[in-house]
Amino acid sequence: MKKLTILLVLLVAGGVCIAGCTTEENGEVLPTETPEATETVPEEVTTPPTEEVTEEPTEEEVTEEPTEEEVTGPTANLVETAADAGQFTTLVAAIEAAGLTEELSTGGPYTIFAPTDAAFAAIPAETLDALLASPDEELTEILTYHVVDGEYYAEDLTNVASLDTLQGTMLTISIDGDTVMVDGAQVIDQDIQASNGVIHVIDEVLVPIGVELPAATDGEMEEATEEMTEEVTEEMTEEETETPE
């Protein structure tokens, strides 16, 4: 009985030792308790927002806003446009003298082949004065010979050989390369737009067949010849006295 008691004591002590100590298995020391697993939560990584790069438009992509005239068209009529140009002073005065201002300002559209002041200056002053003094006769015939019903731009002139004028007869159009001729006059500027038509600039005053200009007196012709001679002489003298650089 005493031996049995001792044996039980030893067995109980051995069990306590086994529970509190580690056990060797295959030469490895195993822990008696499994440590609690700790979950590692990765820190949230925030990516900084990328800066949006706005490309500036290139020079080709930048379009200029149209001007008011390009949107609505020219606002000045043919007579106003000619007056504003500064090179048609005599023409505008002749139009007013002939009583054509209202028609060329409100009618149309018209195409005007407009002689410059230099072109009118080629006419003797006495002849021009005579024309302005009797506008109901030759002056009206001459002016309406420069006006065509309808708008004909430079590109249109290349496709026509003649144009009917308000005077009743036709203008002959001829093209030689970049040179445009209207009867005997050369077109020196084109496509001046107005609200009721277009102006082409010519270097001579056109006279329709059957209309004669008042003749200048002999004294005026002599004076004009003398002036031309003096101008030529002065030019030649300047060329002779000019020293080369």
Residue 41 lies in a domain: no
The number of distinct structural domains making up the chain is: 1
Residue 117 lies in a domain: yes
Return phi, psi of residue 157, to 5°: -65, -25
Residue-level pLDDT, tens digit, the chain, 245 residues: 555 566 555 555 555 445 454 444 444 544 545 555 555 555 555 555 555 655 665 655 555 665 554 555 789 999 999 999 999 999 999 999 999 999 999 999 999 999 999 999 999 999 999 998 888 889 999 999 999 999 999 999 999 999 999 999 999 999 999 999 999 899 999 999 999 999 999 999 999 999 988 875 544 444 544 554 465 456 545 545 554 54
pLDDT of residue 111: 98
Residue 6 lies in a domain: no
Residue 227 lies in a domain: no
CA distance 49 to 52: 9
* Residue of 95, 51, 105 whose CA lies nearest to 75: 105
Residue 59 lies in a domain: no
State which residues form the domain around 95.
Answer: 73-205
pLDDT of residue 85: 95
Residue 90 lies in a domain: yes
DSSP state of 105: H
Which CA distances in Å does 226 have to 51, 164, 229, 234?
83, 40, 5, 12
Residue 168 lies in a domain: yes
pLDDT of residue 134: 81
- Which CATH number covers residue 133? 2.30.180.10
Residue 22 lies in a domain: no
